[in-house]
Chain A
Amino acid sequence: MTPPLSQRPRAGAAIGFALVGFFVAAALLGCFWTPHDPLKINILQRMKPPGTAFWLGTDEFGRDVLSRLIAGARNSLLIAVLTVAGAVAAGSLLGLVAGYARGWVDRLLMMLNDALLAFPGILLALGLLAVLGANKYGIVLALALAYLPSVARVVRGSVLSVRAREFVEASRILGNSEAYTAWRHVLPNCIAPLTVLATSMLGWVLLAEGALSFLGLGVPPPEATWGNMLSAARPFIGQAAWLAIFPGLCISLALLGVNLLGDALRDRLDPRMRA
């Protein structure tokens, strides 16, 4: 029958943890070893369905799909982690400065921030890519800039509520500098909402990177990402369905893992936002 309510979040968290762990392990493995060379073209082995020689089949250039998925895990996860790290670092700094300084600094920074937030979805990233060019670093920079404003908003909000508390006042009375107080006492108290946001953001970035790669604006071929494998599969979908199925399955399972992990974290760290 239905499991008791208290056990459900834990089951979700366990599945999420297992999925994320699986893909992180695959990505790490991909740094050292893949069953075949993910870039090696072999015209004689074109579009072989999944079998014993190539477990998940080969693509239109005879490259091994499994090897490319593992290499893609490395690329996609690396981009996601770098992007989120960049957005969190820069956004936190911005939010900390705005929330701590208040006054006109806060108003100016938040006005600029809100202008960036006004762009819907990945539109800002698309515009930035038009300037930066489509490559691994362009996509990290574009997505980090696109997601930075949400981090700045959350951190600023937390800072505004934390800085009114007694221990911040106490630190100041003890003679600590403003910067020291901000770093040592205010920032650590923003960690919980920031963790929840960073986890959801990991999912958004995975999805956005997949979409941009699918559009041909991500990591350029021949290097593999799940998104560009899917876009390459589009013309051959009639003859080689496996080309379209496995990369999408990877993106979806990775996203599912991140989403479940995010739900569990939110339940734990932010009881107000319980889903």
Chain B
Amino acid sequence: MLGFTLKRLLTALPTLLLVAVAVFALVRAVPGDPASLMLGDMATEASVADLRAQMGLDQPIVAQFARWLGRVLGGDLGQSIQYAVPVLPLLLERFMVTAAVVVAAVAIAALIAVPAGLLAAWRQGSAWDLGVVATATLLMSIPSFWMGLLLLLGLGLKLGWLPVVGYVSLSADLKAGLVYLVMPVLTLVLVESGVLIRMARAAALEVLRLDYVAHARAKGLPEPLVLARHVLPNAFAPTWTLIGLVLGNLLGGIAVVETVFTLPGLGRLLVGAIFARDYPVIQGCMLFITFVYVMVNLVVDLLYPLFDPRVVAE
């Protein structure tokens, strides 16, 4: 297991290095002097000259990259132009909000989707199956930002059950903070469960055809036990991989939901930085989100043998 973990960690390294190259190249692709770009319009000539020397702009591009990568690895992602604070603490603070919403949403979506998909597959072709598949296909077709607006309209404005805009930090006031997170989480649960239901159903259909299920039934095992003991664990494994991808995709696309509900998360930080041409924050966000995505998928892979013992971690 330790060897497998190390090996997977090592295979993630070249990917992360190439991602770093891409992010480095992205800002260099913007026309103009990189140092004045990183400091913004309000910078003094002296500070630009300082940064030029620090970035080593008179040196070959490879040396500049090595210098930049060295600082990134040391946790120095530069200074935000907009907020005039170091980028990394800013990212971590915003990430907490995003992570709380995304992790809660995906966990709840999986808890709903896996049993729903399993039961649909169990009674394939029934009205229940048809209803589940139709609902899942419909949910997959609703963009998160529209789902969010509809919930705002329905639960917020028409029914008045939940606050429409705003955010209270969980650490400041747990109860009020949770109330503000209900709608964003519900939005993501609804839109993400569609794809998870379809995946769980497809995986369960495969498993239900296998001989060991027929064998379990033939030896007289009650149907609920067949499902719980033989079908669920085996059907869950492919869905588990998809959960990793969904988590990552949400991290990349969370900005729209954060915009609808005015949450101070990572996605809105990135979009705000794009508007403000805050290149250190843009670079930092892209590196950080991709790093988390690669790590999440790594953890998903490492835990995979827990759900599918046939896959031995080597």
Q: Would you give the shortest CB distance from A207 to chain B, in whole angstroms? A: 6
Given contacts A111-B14, A130-B274, A255-B141, contact A121 B149 (CB under 8 A): no
Q: What DSSP secondary structure best describes chain B's contact surface?
A: helix
Whether A216 contacts B275 by the Cβ 8 Å rule is yes
Number of A-B contacts (CB under 8 A): 146
Q: Would you give the shortest CB distance from B235 to chain A, in whole angstroms? A: 15
Whether A120 contacts B251 by the Cβ 8 Å rule is yes
The 8 A CB mask of B150-177 against A (1 = contact, 0 = none) is: 1011000100000000000000000000
CB nearest to A244 among chain B residues: B149
Point out the residues of chain A lying under 8 angstroms from B250, CB to CB: 121
- Is A85 among interface residues, defined by CB-CB distance under 8 A? no
Point out the residues of chain A lying under 8 angstroms from B29, CB to CB: 131
Point out the residues of chain A lying under 8 angstroms from B142, CB to CB: 248, 252, 255
Whether A234 contacts B149 by the Cβ 8 Å rule is yes
Distance of A207 Cα from B294 Cα, bound (Å): 23
Interface size class of A (residues with CB under 8 A): 35 or more
Whether A256 contacts B137 by the Cβ 8 Å rule is yes
Distance of A244 Cα from B125 Cα, bound (Å): 36
Q: Would you give the shortest CB distance from B278 to chain A, in whole angstroms? A: 9
Interface size on B, residues (CB 8 A): 56
Distance of A209 Cα from B295 Cα, bound (Å): 27
Distance of A11 Cα from B22 Cα, bound (Å): 45
Q: In A235-275, which residues have CB < 8 Å from any B CB?
A: 237-238, 241, 244-245, 247-248, 251-253, 255-256, 259-260, 263, 275
Q: In B248-280, which residues have CB < 8 Å from any A CB?
A: 248-253, 255-256, 259-260, 270-271, 273-275, 277, 279
Point out the residues of chain B lying under 8 angstroms from A233, CB to CB: 149
Please pick, from A210, A216, A248, the residue contacting B150 in the complex, using a CB distance under 8 A: A248
- Is B99 among interface residues, defined by CB-CB distance under 8 A? no
Point out the residues of chain B lying under 8 angstroms from A253, CB to CB: 141
Whether B15 contacts A2 by the Cβ 8 Å rule is no
Interface set of B (CB-CB < 8 Å, partner A): 14-16, 18-19, 21-23, 26-27, 29-30, 124-127, 130, 137-138, 140-146, 149-150, 152-153, 157, 198, 202, 248-253, 255-256, 259-260, 270-271, 273-275, 277, 279, 282, 286, 289-290, 293-294
Given contacts A123-B252, A248-B146, A275-B202, 11 further A-B contacts (CB under 8 A): A5-B125, A118-B15, A118-B290, A120-B249, A120-B289, A120-B290, A211-B256, A227-B145, A230-B145, A237-B157, A248-B145
